[in-house]
Chains A and B, each alone.
Chain A
């Protein structure tokens, strides 16, 4: 079963705007990860946030985690056309379950 659920399912913005994607999950986690997938390609790891962290930055990426609400958000600032891809959150549950992925958000950045 899918642990993480992203919203929105699709997001279309103009270059230069910020993009925010959200992820909700159901059970306690060790960490939450965000991945990116270009069309027809494998997934690439973007950033990991541990359950005892609230915010993390990496370049133009900012991830927040609210364990009380069981939710996370991924913010991409100053988006570029090359950011067009699907973005997935994945959770590593405390019960030792495997990494499980959400359904993803399809981001389109228009030049």
Chain B
């Protein structure tokens, strides 16, 4: 079965410090990977998505970057955090639209447990 792991679960960082959030997926190959951010009591904003190693698409300009050094690893980074970067960050994966896995490729997302970032 497939699992997704995301860490750290909580993080308190000072303004101007670097950030690294990591996400790994097990039990599947060539997944689509996503980073979302959720403000308190709000919906999800897509930050980045990736369809393969080294392939990153950014949805919104911001202080963050993403990398995919391995097929099932997705990293969210920042060189210098801003107060506005505080939020709940969610990693997710989905089966690619034209996967040969036989799974129903509906675009259903499978989420990690989230990382709560507080920038002080």
Which chain A residues have a beta carbon within 8 Å of chain B's beta carbons?
2, 30-31, 33, 35, 40-45, 48, 50, 88, 90, 92, 98-104, 106
Contacts and interface: CB of A to CB of B under 8 A. Distances in A.
Interface residues of B, number: 24
Interface of B: 6, 34, 36, 41-44, 46, 49, 59, 88, 90, 92, 94, 106-114, 116
Given A42-B90, A88-B43, A88-B44, A98 B59 contact: yes
Given A30-B107, A33-B109, A45-B108, 6 more contacts: A2-B43, A35-B109, A40-B88, A50-B106, A101-B36, A104-B43
What is the predominant secondary structure among interface residues of chain A facing chain B?
A: strand
18 contacts: A31-B106, A33-B106, A40-B88, A40-B116, A41-B113, A42-B111, A42-B113, A43-B44, A43-B109, A44-B111, A45-B109, A90-B109, A92-B107, A98-B46, A98-B49, A99-B46, A103-B42, A106-B41
